[in-house]
Structure 1
Amino acid sequence: MVSRRTFLKLFGAALVGGVGVVAYAFGLEPLVRLSITKNQVKTPKWRYGPPLRIAALADFHACEPWMNAHRVRQIVAKTNALKPDVILLLGDYLSGMRMVFRSLPNDELAAALSHLSAPLGVHAILGNHDWWEDEAAQLRGGGPTAIGDAMKKVGISVFENDVLRLEKAGQPFWLAGLADQWALFPNKGLTRGRHVGLDDLDGTLEQIDDDAPVILMAHEPDIFPRVPDRVALTLSGHTHGGQIRLGGYSPVVPSKYGNKYAYGHIQENGRDLLVSGGLGCSMIPVRFGVPPEINLIEIS
């Protein structure tokens, strides 16, 4: 039998430990930690040419204090220091949280991102929060979006069902980027689940006119079962790895597939998907077991 004194000691230790975990999840992991996650993707679809180094940044959710301009500039500097061939931004630049001092203005965020630099450029897609936080775009039932325009003004290309042919060392590849799958609230047309998507996977890939490898940017990973073998690599964000992740499992994942496409490098039927854990927080400012990350991907 445990004595009263022993019980109180154990209870006190558990209480202190619990407070420490909460402080870590609200303070240290989302605000301080920043991982460089290196991913190697080897695929026969990358048939020729040298390996391509991609830096992928997802889900900034820019706001104060959780993702202020100083934090964004730190991420930009660390990304540039990796010397990638190309930098890809995977959506959700706007916050969408209530527990904030203020959301970062579009021009301030775009100015911080404008310092990203890579030989093959900086290219972006939009995420659901970039649409949800844009009242004018919601009323129109379509773009342009304010954050998309702000990014274009500083030289970042924004893809919405678009493709671009690039080359490294004389070897071509295609970059394709989908419009968001959850862009509009349901009162703007036929719904897909809770929201209306503007993505057009077939129409996007039909713009490709040769057999060079394809890298696809799609904010939500739920599109992956429909991605054809033609695509060498699909890159997504959105899930944040669940924001809370223990032993490879996330209790809550914003995906109809649950943990199947929650995080990391997923291989399925000879196809490759990389889901970034992202950088910021959505809904609540908590991260535990999935620290903010910059993904450095080498495809060969």
Structure 2
Amino acid sequence: MRKAVRVLIACLVAVVLATAILLAAAMQEPVVRRATIAMPDWSAGARPVRVAFLSDVHVAGPDMPPSRLRRIVGQVNALRPDVVLIAGDFVSDKRVATRRYPAMEALAPLAQLNAPLAKAAVLGNHDHWRGATEVSKALKAAGIRVLSNQAMTIGPVRIGGVDDESTGHADVRATLRAMNAALGARVLLSHTPDITPKVPDDVTLVLAGHTHCGQIRLPLLGAVSYMSIYGDRYACGQRKEGARRVITTAGLGTSVLPFRLGAPPEVWLLTLGPSER
């Protein structure tokens, strides 16, 4: 009997320790990843543009209260980006959330983002599940433009924003038409990287999130799931396919469980500029 009690206590201690470690990993300061992208259609004489690329904020307790998002905003501002692009999933309804926040309260810290050229975003599946109208209003209040199968020109860059595919709101063709309506180096922002095979080769850069880089990547076994129909093809980091580059970020928050392992939260700082001639 005493042995059974000792085993039970040991198991409980192990569970508590594992939970604490995984939660701490989810709440660590984001890693800053940097890349320089040569854009073949860059306007002659235009200076390079620094883009802070974020995704999957998933504001909810315990791992991403608005106070933590406010700290992350400060870290992003310290990078001095010209542009901030965010690839959706701003809110979260994970079942184990200790607190869920109204979108207006959750996203208020984003108003402090400093980006002299523009702040733009697309919505993700969680945003549509919670309510696209509510999330869009909160983003507008924070000074962030929501692109829903639309495009905008930011300096020498033409940004297309595809709405969420998994909830049936994506229209890649409409987005491409909008991108083609004006000149500029072509960048496509999408919540999921799964739209990539539908994108023509003349779109130089695709930016996406959604996969969380697996979120929990077990030693030797890898990720439990990448949440992509293409498996690990576009699951994490940079992938070059012909003249196009795809960057999938691990994002900042969590989904389902407030844990991370082997896939730390991250922010990308991209320097977009001309190709060598």
**Scaled by the length of structure 1, what TM-score is found?**
0.81
Equivalent pair of 1:37/1:296 in contact (CA under 8 Å)? yes
Q: Percent identity?
A: 37
1:237 equivalent among 198, 201, 209? 209
Q: Alignment RMSD, CA only?
A: 2.4
The AA in structure 1 aligned to 2:25 is E
Structure 1, unpaired ranges of 5+: 1-14, 135-143, 184-196
Give the 5 Å matches for 1:186-205: 197-205=168-176
The CA deviation at 1:18 is 6.6
What's the secondary structure of 1:63's corresponding residue? coil
The CA deviation at 1:84 is 0.6
2:200 equivalent among 219, 224, 228? 228
Q: Distance in 1 between matches of 2:191 and 2:221?
A: 21
Equivalent pair of 2:39/2:185 in contact (CA under 8 Å)? no
Q: 1:26 to 1:89 in 2, by over 3 A?
A: same
2:163 aligns to what?
Answer: 179
Q: Distance in 2 between matches of 1:274 and 1:21?
A: 34
Matched, 1:105 2:102: yes
Equivalent pair of 2:90/2:107 in contact (CA under 8 Å)? no
2:4 aligns to what?
Answer: none
Q: 1:114 to 1:86 in 2, by over 3 A?
A: same
Equivalent pair of 2:201/2:244 in contact (CA under 8 Å)? yes
Q: Distance in 2 between matches of 1:78 and 1:248?
A: 33
Q: Distance in 2 between matches of 1:87 and 1:21?
A: 37
Q: 1:16 to 1:269 in 2, by over 3 A?
A: farther
Structure 2, unpaired ranges of 5+: 1-10
Matched, 1:33 2:21: no
Q: Distance in 2 between matches of 1:100 and 1:119?
A: 35
The CA deviation at 1:31 is 1.5
The AA in structure 2 aligned to 1:284 is L
Give the 5 Å matches for 1:211-290: 211-245=183-217, 246=219, 249-290=222-263
Equivalent pair of 1:236/1:274 in contact (CA under 8 Å)? yes
The CA deviation at 1:22 is 2.2
**Scaled by the length of structure 2, what TM-score is found?**
0.87
The alignment of Structure 1 onto Structure 2 pairs a total of residues equal to 262
Equivalent pair of 1:213/1:230 in contact (CA under 8 Å)? no
Equivalent pair of 2:251/2:265 in contact (CA under 8 Å)? yes
The CA deviation at 1:26 is 2.3
2:138 aligns to what?
Answer: 150
